[in-house]
Amino acid sequence: MFVLDPRLVQDTVAIGDFPLCRLLLSNDSNYPWFILVPRRPDIIELFQLEPADQLQLWQETNALAQLLSQSFNADKLNVGALGNVVSQLHMHVIVRFRNDVAWPAPVWGKSPAKPYTGEELSAIYTRMREVLTSGFRFEGDQT
């Protein structure tokens, strides 16, 4: 059974589900930072997914990246699966700006997380739900 890693539960807000992945928002307002987690148990590496799931993950990753790029008018998207700390497979999709606090470095470990206020969180949550449900097979928060 798929269970979200406790560290991801702690550090993120669930926005909803794509056909394969749960979409999480990292609670760090330094960057629009999203995380896709395939809802499959016991997967650590990309290549451990079934071939159809591998394809689905890449499609959801690329589609999300493209949508975020447009919606936020991003300077760059950073996409990556690292997993050195949280081993459960998760794909970062991060909107970067040339004036963000870490640019041009990667975001990890660069600057302390700056949690969203309740108002900010509500705004980005609503915005993402509107954007995603208009163009995707996307369902609301399942958690």
| Residue choice 41, 104, 112, 118 for contact with a copy of itself (CB under 8 A) | 104
Q: Answer yes or no whether residue 136 interacts with a copy of itself by CB under 8 A.
A: no
Nearest residue (CB) to a copy of itself, 81 versus 124 = 81
Give Cβ neighbours of residue 36 (< 8 Å, ≥ 6 apart): 18, 21, 22, 23, 24, 57, 60, 61, 64, 90, 91, 93
The number of residues making up the chain comes to 143
| Residue choice 78, 113, 131, 136 for contact with a copy of itself (CB under 8 A) | 78
**Tokens for 47?**
């290549």
Nearest residue (CB) to a copy of itself, 113 versus 121 = 113
CA distance 14 to 12: 7
In the complex, minimum distance from the CB of residue 55 to a copy of itself, in angstroms, rounded to a whole number: 7
The piece of 1-9, 32-40, 65-73, 118-126 that touches a copy of itself (CB under 8 A) is 65-73
Beta-bridged to residue 38, according to DSSP, are 21
Q: Answer yes or no whether residue 84 interacts with a copy of itself by CB under 8 A.
A: yes
